[in-house]
Amino acid sequence: MKVALLSDCYPPRTGGIESQVSDLAAQLVVAGHEVEVFTATAGGPGVDGVRVHRLSTPLALGLPVNPMAAPQVRRLLVAGGFDVAHVHMGVVSPFAWDMAGVTTGLGLPTALTWHCVLDRAARPLGPAVRRWVRRGAALSAVSGFAAQGVRKAAKGAPVAVLPNGIDPSAWRVPDLPTLPALRDARPLRGLAPQDPQARQRRLEGTRPVRVVTASRLAPRKRVGALLAVVAAAHERLGPGAMTVDVYGEGPLRPWLEARVEALGLRDVVRLPGRVTRGELARAWADADVYLSPTRLEAFGIAALEARTTGLPVIARGDSGVREVVTDGLSGLLAADDPGLTDALVRLVADESLRARITRHNRRTPPAQTWDRVVDLAVAEYRRAGA
């Protein structure tokens, strides 16, 4: 099968959609399919047998936007002899929305996958979604949670679940030494030495529980709520009980640094910045708990990666993370932010609970392995063709 993958974002940009579309392309090739990618992201040629058409424009100033790309993509699709188009939709995806119009307008079998929660956008976007359905598009979302908004926009059209995928072998890294990024993480301005009680714990053979998270430092990821949860848990647990490493970059870094100081968390919270996927896997192997504060999370790739490493995951139950974490088995799900605080206190204080969940996660691979996800993707392509 010859597949066209169309997405605003693609490597070298970093993010959830970027990594998933890139990995899906590579996995489809491994499964014997021919794949070409169409994206508005600038960069170099494709790798792993994947040809990449980069429809970027300097007028966009580095953003993955090109409102003039449609005619060129239309010509390439007509000449390319594709069997199916797979368009990947985000919260704000002008390129993908244009591409959905192009592919369905050509009569090319089209699968549309949402990597976002439409929320209040479902109603205004409904007319376009229903037009694509009338043209034969097969709709899907990365989780049942995200599919609810797509169904609302489509007014009852079938919406399948096509989850994000993971390679468990890339996240199972036992017996690795402490990641240098953790020891040498860029400190907050004015960061004081480690709390004396925490230092004493290490000298006595114990150490603080290591809590980690990975997130773009942006309002939508609720990093402010994360700090509030950590501050409340720290107050209840006392000094030296835990450290919290927040991996990622974004516009809120200066605000977060100031907020950490204001909350008195200078000895607890560190901001190591953005690291590679391999470095993140090593960090997770050296950690004890993963904390996710997000709500409008369509899936929770970072949480799935942490769970695959073996970390107990704490997350909101009213998010897409609930589809990769089972409450009490692979992590703890909370109804609200105070519940996140309770769960964090419980896991930090209860070593036996952490150990039990970690054993389960290490012994039980997640359901979203790439072989299964590729089969589901191909089923969507056949549904679009039908």
The third-level CATH classification (topology) of the domain covering 2-165+369-385 is Rossmann fold (3.40.50)
What value does the mean pLDDT take over residues 294-303?
87
Structure confidence at residue 297 as a pLDDT band (50, 70, 90) = confident
What residue ranges do the domains of the chain occupy? 2-165+369-385, 168-363
Burial of 146 (0-12, 13-18, 19+ CB in 10 A): buried
- Residue 306 confidence (pLDDT): 95
Structure tokens, 91:
């919260």
Contacts of 14 (CB under 8 A, 6+ apart): 274
* pTM of the shown model: 0.84
Give the H/E segment covering residue 159. Answer: strand 159-161
pLDDT digit string (tens) for 100-156?
A: 999 999 999 999 999 999 888 888 899 999 999 999 999 999 999 999 999 999 998
Q: Cα(356)–Cα(351) distance, rounded to whole angstroms?
A: 9
Local structure of 38: helix, strand or coil: strand
- Residue 174 confidence (pLDDT): 55
Q: Cα(36)–Cα(76) distance, rounded to whole angstroms?
A: 10
Statement: residue 167 has pLDDT above 50: yes
pLDDT digit string (tens) for 342-385?
A: 999 999 999 999 999 999 999 998 999 999 999 999 999 999 99
Q: Is-same-fold flag (2-165+369-385; 168-363)? A: yes
Enter the CATH code of domain 168-363.
3.40.50.2000
pLDDT digit string (tens) for 173-205?
A: 554 443 333 333 333 333 333 344 444 444 344
pLDDT digit string (tens) for 68-97?
A: 999 999 999 999 999 999 999 987 899 999
- Residue 13 confidence (pLDDT): 87
